[in-house]
Structure formats: C-alpha cells, structure tokens
Amino acid sequence: MSGAVAIIEEHETVDAFHRGAFYLVQPKGRGHRTGMDAMLLASMVTGNGAIRVADLGAGAGGAGLAVAARLHEARVSLFERSPDMAGFARKTLALAENARIAGRVALFEADVTLRGAARNAAGLVDDSFDHVIMNPPFNDALDRATPDPLKRDAHAIAGDLFEDWIRTAGAILKPSGTLSLIARPHSIADIIAACGKRFGGLEMTPVHARAGENAFRILVSAVKGSRARLQLRSPLVMHATSGHAFAADVDDLNNGRAAYSRM
Amino acid sequence: MSGAVAIIEEHETVDAFHRGAFYLVQPKGRGHRTGMDAMLLASMVTGNGAIRVADLGAGAGGAGLAVAARLHEARVSLFERSPDMAGFARKTLALAENARIAGRVALFEADVTLRGAARNAAGLVDDSFDHVIMNPPFNDALDRATPDPLKRDAHAIAGDLFEDWIRTAGAILKPSGTLSLIARPHSIADIIAACGKRFGGLEMTPVHARAGENAFRILVSAVKGSRARLQLRSPLVMHATSGHAFAADVDDLNNGRAAYSRM
C-alpha cells in the first residue's frame, strides 16, 4: 500500500494503492496521510454504470480515487477545503500513472460545511449524487494537541462536525442515495444524531485490529429518506491472532478486489 | 436452563437456572419468560461485599436472582410494575430451593418511571444503589402486535422508554455507580441519548447468534457522572459455526460461572 515510487519534491511522496492501480501524491511527514481508513471507506461504494460519487473532505483524494479505480464507470467529485491538500489531489490527478481514471474524477476546492446557494455554487449540488463518502477529520479536545498546522486542520476540533457534514450529504444525495463513512466508535452518538430524520437504514460495522480487542473504527452506511432500523453487522477483524498480515477479506477490501456491500 | 421441576399451578412452571443454583416461577405460554437475556444482563454485575443492586422491570426476578446467586453478599431490589409478574417473583422468593438467596432479595411493586418524591417513596431511593440493571421491555410499533395482554405489557410500546428508565437509573445510583442493560441494536440511539450527561464511559458489546450474522442484542454499561468516551467492545458470539450448543465463554456467563466485567 505504501512504498514510495518517486519523490517529486523533497517534502512529498508518491505512493501506490490497490497494488499499483493508482497512485497518490502526499505530504511527507505532515498532514493527513492516506491509508487503510480511506481504502475501507472506498470499498463501501457499489453500483453499476456512471454513478456519481462525492468524496467530502477528500484530502489528497485517496478514497475517491480508490472508488474510481474499482468502479470503471463511476464519476467521482472530490471536495477539499484546504488549498494545500487540494494541491496534492491536483498533482495526483496529473500523474501519468492515473491517466486511466483521472478523466472521471473532478476536484473542487470547497468547504463541505457551506449551506444553501453557496453550497450549490461550490459544486455541492442538491439531489445530484448517488453515493457520498466521508472520512471526517478527527482529533478533538480530548486528544493531544498537534503542533503540525496541516494535520491540525485535517483533524479539526468540532463538536458539530458530523451534523455539518451529514447535513451536506443529505442535501446533495439523490433520494434513496447512500452515505458511507468511517469514524471512531466514540462518535456513534454524533453520527446517529446527525443522521436524524435525514437518513435511515443505518448499518454499523465495528472494525477491530484483532479479535478480543475493542473496535478502533466503525463503518457506517445509511440511506437518504429511509425509515429502516439500525443494524449492527458482524465485525471486520484486520489481523489474525498473530502477525501483521491482513486477514484475507480485509486485504481484498484494502486492495480494491472486493466491495463491502450493504446487507 | 429450562426443564420444569414442578408445576405448582397449571399455568405456571418452575424452571432451574445457573444449573440449579436458583429457580423461577414463571407464567406458562404467556407473559415474558426469562432466558439468556436476563442471564447475560446479570453477568454484568461485579463487586465485592454487600453491594446494593436494583433490577428495574424485574419481571419474575430472573436477572436479579442470578446476581444474588453468583454474588453471595449482594443485596438485590426487584422493581416490577405488573402485579401479575410481581406475583410470580413473590412465589419465586418463597420457593424452598431459593432459601439460600431469598433473604438478600427484596421485591417492590413499583413503576420505574415514577419521578421525584413518588419514586423515592416506592423504594427507588436517590443515590442508594451501586449497580442498576435493566432489560427494558421491547416490541414497538414496527413489531407485530401481540394479542397476549401480559406479554404486551412487558413489551411496551414507548418511544421514551429508555429516557424514562435511564432517568430513574441516574437518580437512584450512587455517584460513580454502574448501569448495565441489554437491548436490541436498533435502540442504540435512544440509549445513548438517554445516557446524555447523566452517564459516561459507555461500553457497548454486540451479541451475535453466530459469526457473520448481524447482532441481535447489545450489552451496554455506563458509569454515573463519568466523562469517559464510548468504547465498542469485542462481540460475544453465542454459537460456534455449527450446532446449537453455546460457546464456552457464553455458557459460563449464562450459568453464573463467570462475570462479564467492564474493561
């Protein structure tokens, strides 16, 4: 998943994902670096044909590109507020190695918490997407403050973060469109509250590093306008009891060989 | 766990629990019958010495008696609104087979949703319990209506059920006392909302019938006044891949040979 291919500037790396199906230009040693979280999030998108997918808070574009790499007709819009991170996404889309997918990926420098006309003007158009994905920044007041301003921006302090982001997801999804997100388990309350009456049919999947350990992430999907009840799915366990290798099912999700479909 | 020992009236059974450590008199073919849910709930109580435990909505007393049977000094108060179900609890406490534990168990016919002075007068005394357990009635508007009035009463229709019950738990627990409950996964939102600022340190454990299936219950514990974050624990899986026997760890919890402690 990592493994630098070429250093294009001294403070940047180019990393292979999906076993070389696409590459990301990323900041080196600062900012939020793409990894397993983005790949698991991307695995939650399913659908045939030219579905429209929005990646909110796309960063360097990892999750959005992973969707475009696996679903060969999907059209992906990346939304990123930070000009710095959007710059990495722009370089990523310009890489020759990504030519096969870049034509189906559009980048918008936009704050996903915008509302109303300003939101629509920024490319976050009402009722226009089939699937919205998000890996909202974390780190809150209980976490250790980080001296890295780029990382601090990505891992924002924000009590109403899920409300702001999920409100936008609810606005830009088509009726019965799907929201998928990855977050930390202690955000369950905020996520459910923000889904409120906008979304139903929540499916939550705990992600554990190893059997017997507490979950360190949750995958959540929800359907706009649904009234179906929350389901708590069987967990994903990343590693077998010993060793650092990924379990086969998780490795497939991480490398774009399988999708994590709704029930 | 089941296995009738003696039919004391034609519409009643006497069932062994904890491999014969105690017995319950229960309605036959109507009302809510005690089973795995109550035993898992009881397994969540830990503590040494004469701790005070309240069982809210105790029914025939299954969970409360299971606590008293495993913790040999614990003092348990059963609260049950239905005179009919309280009658079964009363017969249970009068059984010769329960003489070893009945002296540490008190029965209160009381509505756990009472407030203020009326609540205190009913035995639900402010700041007086170390541990509160509850297996709130379920069945809501989406479930099939049941023609059995006794069962309907136990499985009440009530949107604010968790708010009402958890408010009482917050009132009657000592500072830093523990609430434990068992519920269905789709109640997660209501439970978290009701815990609100009253409780923190939530620990949620999904309970699955088999690996790969959605959870059908959640165990939740929380600490009065805590500000600690929610944790999502490793799941309990009741059955191995094939067969109807319980997995060893679940069997131990079900039979009072082990406690399910907080982290």
Residue to mutate among A234, A249, A260, with most B CBs inside 10 A, is A234
Helix ranges restricted to H, B18-61? 36-43
**pLDDT bucket at B17, cuts 50 / 70 / 90:** very high
Q: What pLDDT does residue A6 have?
A: 44
Which percentage of chain B shows pLDDT scores above 70?
A: 87
- The C-alpha atoms of residue A36 and residue A247 are separated, in whole angstroms, by 13
Task: Please name the residue of chain B whose CA is at the shortest distance from the CA of residue A263.
Answer: B214
Q: What pLDDT does residue B21 have?
A: 96
Q: Which of B185, B192, B232 sits opposite A215 (nearest CB)?
A: B232
Q: What is the tens place of the pLDDT at every residue in B68-78?
A: 999 999 999 99
Closest CA to B124 of B162, B79, B177: B79
Q: Which of A185, A193, A231 sits opposite B232 (nearest CB)?
A: A185
Residues of chain A found within 8 Å of residue B211, distances taken between Cβ atoms: 234
Question: Are B230 and A263 in contact (CB < 8 Å)?
Answer: no
Residue B148 has pLDDT above 50, yes or no: yes
Q: At what angle do helices B188-195 and A188-195 cross, to 10 degrees?
A: 110
Q: What pLDDT does residue A148 have?
A: 61
Q: Which residue has the higher pLDDT, B206 or A1?
A: B206
Question: Are B188 and A192 in contact (CB < 8 Å)?
Answer: yes
Size of chain B, expressed as the number of residues it contains: 263
Q: What pLDDT does residue A3 have?
A: 41
Q: What pLDDT does residue A141 have?
A: 42
Take residue B242 and report the two structure tokens written for it.
Answer: 């094939």
Q: What is the tens place of the pLDDT at every residue in A133-174?
A: 999 987 544 444 455 656 555 544 455 899 999 999 999 999
Q: Which of B193, B206, B230 sits opposite A232 (nearest CB)?
A: B206
Q: Which of B206, B211, B229 sits opposite A186 (nearest CB)?
A: B229
Q: Give how far Cα A183 sits from Cα of A40, A162, B193, Å.
A: 11, 10, 19
Contacts of A43 (CB under 8 A, 6+ apart): A66, A70, A253, A254, A256, A258, A259, A260
- The C-alpha atoms of residue A87 and residue A109 are separated, in whole angstroms, by 9
Which residues are paired to A194 by β-bridges? none
Q: Which residue has the tokens 């990382």?
A: A151
- Measured in degrees and rounded to the nearest 5, phi and psi for residue B182 equal -125, 140
Contact by Cβ (8 Å): A114, A168: yes
**pLDDT bucket at B159, cuts 50 / 70 / 90:** low
Residue B158 has pLDDT above 90, yes or no: no
Question: Are B206 and A208 in contact (CB < 8 Å)?
Answer: no
Contacts of B237 (CB under 8 A, 6+ apart): B208, B209, B210, B211, B247, B250
Q: What pLDDT does residue B56 have?
A: 98
Take residue A44 and report the two structure tokens written for it.
Answer: 């939650």
- pLDDT beneath 50, residues of chain A: 1-7, 140-145, 155-157
Q: At what angle do helices B188-195 and B161-172 cross, to 10 degrees?
A: 40
- Measured in degrees and rounded to the nearest 5, phi and psi for residue A18 equal 50, 45
Torsion angle in degrees (nearest 10) through CA of B134, B140, B144, B150: 50
What is the residue type of A214?
Answer: N
- Number of A to B CB contacts under 8 A, please give it: 68
Interface of A with B (CB under 8 A): 142, 185-186, 188-189, 192-193, 204, 206, 208, 211-215, 218, 229-235, 263
Q: Smallest CA–CA separation between A182 and chain B, in Å?
A: 14
Q: Smallest CA–CA separation between B249 and chain A, in Å?
A: 12
**pLDDT bucket at B240, cuts 50 / 70 / 90:** confident
Q: What pLDDT does residue B108 have?
A: 98
* B6 burial level (CB within 10 Å; 0-12, 13-18, 19+): exposed
The CA-to-CA distance between both ends of chain A, in Å, stands at 28
Q: Smallest CA–CA separation between B220 and chain A, in Å?
A: 14
- The C-alpha atoms of residue B168 and residue B113 are separated, in whole angstroms, by 7
Q: What pLDDT does residue A159 have?
A: 56
Q: What is the tens place of the pLDDT at every residue in B53-107?
A: 999 999 999 999 999 999 999 999 999 999 999 999 999 999 999 999 999 999 9
Task: Please name the residue of chain A whose CA is at the shortest distance from the CA of residue B191.
Answer: A189
- The C-alpha atoms of residue A213 and residue A215 are separated, in whole angstroms, by 6
Question: Are A230 and B188 in contact (CB < 8 Å)?
Answer: yes
Other beta carbons within 10 angstroms of residue A84's beta carbon come to: 15
The complex's ipTM works out to 0.85
Contact by Cβ (8 Å): B38, B27: no
Q: Which residue has the higher pLDDT, B28 or B211?
A: B211
Residues of chain A found within 8 Å of residue B262, distances taken between Cβ atoms: none
Q: Smallest CA–CA separation between B92 and chain A, in Å?
A: 36
Across A153-157, B141-145, B210-214, least confident range:
B141-145
Q: Give how far Cα A67 sits from Cα of A35, A71, A103, Å.
A: 14, 6, 13
Torsion angle in degrees (nearest 10) through CA of B91, B260, B53, B168: -110
Q: What pLDDT does residue A11 have?
A: 85
Residues of chain B found within 8 Å of residue A233, distances taken between Cβ atoms: 214-215
Q: What pLDDT does residue A160 have?
A: 86
Q: Smallest CA–CA separation between A241 and chain B, in Å?
A: 14
Q: Smallest CA–CA separation between B263 and chain A, in Å?
A: 9
Mean pLDDT confidence for B166-193: 97
Question: Are A206 and B235 in contact (CB < 8 Å)?
Answer: yes
Going from the N-terminus, what domains does chain B have, and what CATH number goes with each? 12-254 (3.40.50.150)
